[in-house]
Structure 1
Amino acid sequence: MLLASLGLLGLTACQPSVQAGLTSGASVDTFHNPLRSNDSPDPFLFTYQHHYYLTYTEQTQVSLYQSSTLAGLQTAHGIPLWPAQCCHLWAPEVYLLPTPAGQRRWYVYYTRDYGVYVRVSSGLSPLGPYGDEIPLLPYGSDVSHSSAIDPTVLTQQDGRLDLLWSDAGDIYIARLSDPTTLASTAHHQLKATRLPASGTVFGCAIQEAPEVLRRSGRFFVTFSACDAQSRDYKLGMMTAQASSDVLSAAAWTLLPRPVFEASVATGVYGPGHNGFFQSLDGRQNWIVYHAKASAGSSYRGRTARAQSFGWTSDGRPSFGTPVSTATVLADPSGERP
């Protein structure tokens, strides 16, 4: 099974899994956060052919870090997917999607200079090669109000695709006629009828970095609230029935409280800009995110981290508390025989 991303996959067959800390003498294979010791903000992680692939913001290029174990990503060498380019390139996400001709190819969606772009692989390797840059929402276009950042893809049950992104601190959605083409210039503000008139959520004026989960006939869209340099950066969540018109703001319900936020007890601050992936055997659900070890206000020090999550009795994802970097964690299931 090709586990390209949870935005592409339904999760009805997944079993709940709750991450637990282990003692350093545990007999199972283990790892600890962060996944990379260097700055690695806006992480996105997917699995393919029994390997993990991690990417994150590197400003002038998009690279993939490949490993057969989650712990191995710490020392993996980045493989650039195309030559470095200018400027301000961030938040890449990689999906295996059908082309208009019915083939399957890898699509890299990313932000460059406050616009949204995509590139397509020429074959079935996520390492490329990739074709030329295709503009989806270039800066200052008629489609975008001002800027367009943090693209992600929602795959509907019938295979139709929608693009979600952030524009001037708000979350938007639009239909894609194919993975590289917006169906129209109309777009809808998901939270327009759900959030306070002041435009703030959890006391934050910024909502960005949407990410999609689908399970048991429901969509869950997480988003990052507040400024990414703040200790208060956190995740909120909206939900919708998968059978509803997800292009309508009325289809979405905003949960009243954050679903993942800083923990003084574990020394984790500003957790946000997340992604989702499954363990290599498809039995566990995991969240990847960036966070800091300092409560100070800075974009520096954001490192990629991961932990598994379970589900509440009413079917919502339950991410728990971001774990300390001192916590020893069991490897995702299916890594080793």
Structure 2
Amino acid sequence: MVAPVWSPNQGTDPCPNYSSQLLVSADGKNVLEIALAKNTSGRCRPYVNTIPINSPVTENILTNTSDTPAQTFTNPLLPDGADPWVIFNDGYYYYTNTTGQNLTLWRTKDFTNLDQTEKKVVWTPPASGPNSRDIWAPELHRLNGKWYLYYTATDKAKPGDLNRYVFVLENESANPLEGNWTDKGRVNTNYTGLDGSVFEHKGKVYFLYSGYVGPQSNLFIADMINPWTISTKQVELTRPTYAWEKYDGREICEGPQFLRGKNGRLHIIYSASACWDDNYSLGMLTSNDTSDLLDPASWKKSATPVFSKSVENRVFGPGHNCFTKSPNGQEDWIIYHAKDMANGECKNRTPRAQPFSWKPDGSPDFGIPVASGKEVSKPN
């Protein structure tokens, strides 16, 4: 055991600013708490408090030392990052979000500490061509033992919605931060659009995207022939019909995400209205696991948003989400972007995470967006 060194003025008043130290005794049976305090004469003297190492007091002291990993986190997860996406595979979470300029992947055991983890730019767009600008909404998927990155892009020479499509990259490496990404080209959607996503159900792979149909952004679904090709039968599931899907004069349903619910329910959670509107929120389509998912009649739309802004918590425009599980597989988490202020812009969107629960009917209960800076228990 190493004894602390005391300064010459220890016998003076007042006591110097000295934090207590915790040391384990040489025999390993006790914890020694060493600090400074005034004695009965008002003089400053060192004292040693001996505590059995197996006592509840010791356990509490050790639990609250700075060396103990934090059990909570606060939102946002990063200072910037719209359209967050997380996937869990072989003990690691892989995260990505829109950078606008490239495709970047994070790799971590804990998706709540993204600012302290490994990341890598895995792809940069070509100088020209159909996927040379506005690299948005990346999603990483694992299909048939390979990695696929889906992303939205447009042509630098002809930018804008009229030339915006979903593209795909393929990687055979076990770790998507390694290996080579092969360009598989554009997904053959019938419409220009954005926000491609993929899900598997009963041995079939489906593709979801938001297609531009006139002034609207509508949600479509199709069978996948392979990870970069979809069937020519592309079915419209929904279009903006409610006022909360049409804020600021824009009729938008975008960012579709598949969510397997309880009691045989299946859900597609999507973002409604324009990203710059503070009322940007999440809507929901519901089906069941025995229905024909390519039949629009199989899906029922919720009449109200299932996740929306919280003025009280100062969280505005929550949307473009994804879902994941805790490491033990027991907790469900939603990851989404939002803003701290009502600014009517797409800027300053940050990634956030919080757990959610389930209602008795098998539908999700997302609650309300958690305030920035509020401590949230980490995933178990």
| Separation in structure 2 between the aligned mates of residue 75 and residue 231 of structure 1, nearest angstrom | 30
Q: Partner of 1:151 in structure 2?
A: 196
Give CA-to-partner distance per residue, 1:53-79, whole Å, 9 cap, x none.
Answer: 210001121111122223321233531
CA contact (8 A) 1:60 1:84 kept: yes
Instruction: Kindly state the Cα deviation for residue 87 of structure 1 after the two structures are TM-superposed.
Output: 0.9
Instruction: Kindly state the Cα deviation for residue 80 of structure 1 after the two structures are TM-superposed.
Output: 1.3
CA contact (8 A) 1:137 1:148 kept: no
Q: 2:72 aligns with which of 11, 30, 33?
A: 30
CA contact (8 A) 1:152 1:163 kept: yes
Q: SS of the counterpart of 2:75?
A: coil
Q: Partner of 1:161 in structure 2?
A: 205
- Tell me the TM-score normalised to structure 1 length: 0.82
Give CA-to-partner distance per residue, 1:201-245, whole Å, 9 cap, x none.
Answer: 544411100000113422110000011011111000001112111
Q: Partner of 2:141 in structure 1?
A: 95
Considering only CA atoms, is the larger Rg found in Structure 1 or Structure 2? 2
Q: SS of the counterpart of 1:81?
A: strand
Please tell me whether residue 315 in structure 1 is matched to residue 359 in structure 2: no
Taking structure 1 as reference, are residues 202 and 298 closer, same or farther at Cα in structure 2, changes over 3 Å only?
closer
Give CA-to-partner distance per residue, 1:110-144, whole Å, 9 cap, x none.
Answer: 11111111111122212242432223436xxxx42
Taking structure 1 as reference, are residues 46 and 201 closer, same or farther at Cα in structure 2, changes over 3 Å only?
same
Give CA-to-partner distance per residue, 1:128-185, whole Å, 9 cap, x none.
Answer: 42432223436xxxx423x22000112112x2111000012110111101222213x2
RMSD: 2.0
Q: 1:208 aligns with which of 229, 247, 254?
A: 254
Any residues of structure 2 matched to 1:1-337 within 5 Å, and which? 29-37=71-79, 39-85=80-126, 86-98=132-144, 104-113=145-154, 114-137=164-187, 143-145=189-191, 147-157=192-202, 159-168=203-212, 169-183=217-231, 185-191=232-238, 196=241, 202-204=245-247, 205-215=251-261, 216-333=263-380
Give CA-to-partner distance per residue, 1:97-121, whole Å, 9 cap, x none.
Answer: 11xxxxx111111111111111111
The structure whose residues are more often strand, as a share, is: 2
Instruction: Kindly state the Cα deviation for residue 261 of structure 1 after the two structures are TM-superposed.
Output: 0.3
Give CA-to-partner distance per residue, 1:18-47, whole Å, 9 cap, x none.
Answer: xxxxxxx9x97110001101x200000122
CA contact (8 A) 1:97 1:107 kept: yes
| Separation in structure 1 between the aligned mates of residue 366 and residue 186 of structure 2, nearest angstrom | 32
| Separation in structure 1 between the aligned mates of residue 139 and residue 73 of structure 2, nearest angstrom | 24
Q: Once superposed, which parts of structure 1, at least 4 consecutive aligned residues long, lie more than 6 Å away? A: none
Gaps in structure 1 of 5+ consecutive residues:
1-24, 99-103
Give CA-to-partner distance per residue, 1:279-314, whole Å, 9 cap, x none.
Answer: 111110000000000101111110000000000011
Gaps in structure 2 of 5+ consecutive residues:
1-65, 127-131, 155-163
- Tell me the TM-score normalised to structure 2 length: 0.73
CA contact (8 A) 2:272 2:281 kept: yes
Taking structure 1 as reference, are residues 116 and 90 closer, same or farther at Cα in structure 2, changes over 3 Å only?
same
Q: Relative to structure 2, which stretch is displaced further, 79-88 or 252-261?
A: 79-88
Q: Which has the higher contact order (CA 8 A, sep 6+)?
A: 1
| Separation in structure 2 between the aligned mates of residue 251 and residue 135 of structure 1, nearest angstrom | 31
CA contact (8 A) 1:235 1:271 kept: yes
Q: Partner of 1:11 in structure 2?
A: none
Taking structure 1 as reference, are residues 28 and 76 closer, same or farther at Cα in structure 2, changes over 3 Å only?
closer
| Separation in structure 1 between the aligned mates of residue 221 and residue 355 of structure 2, nearest angstrom | 27
Aligned length: 292
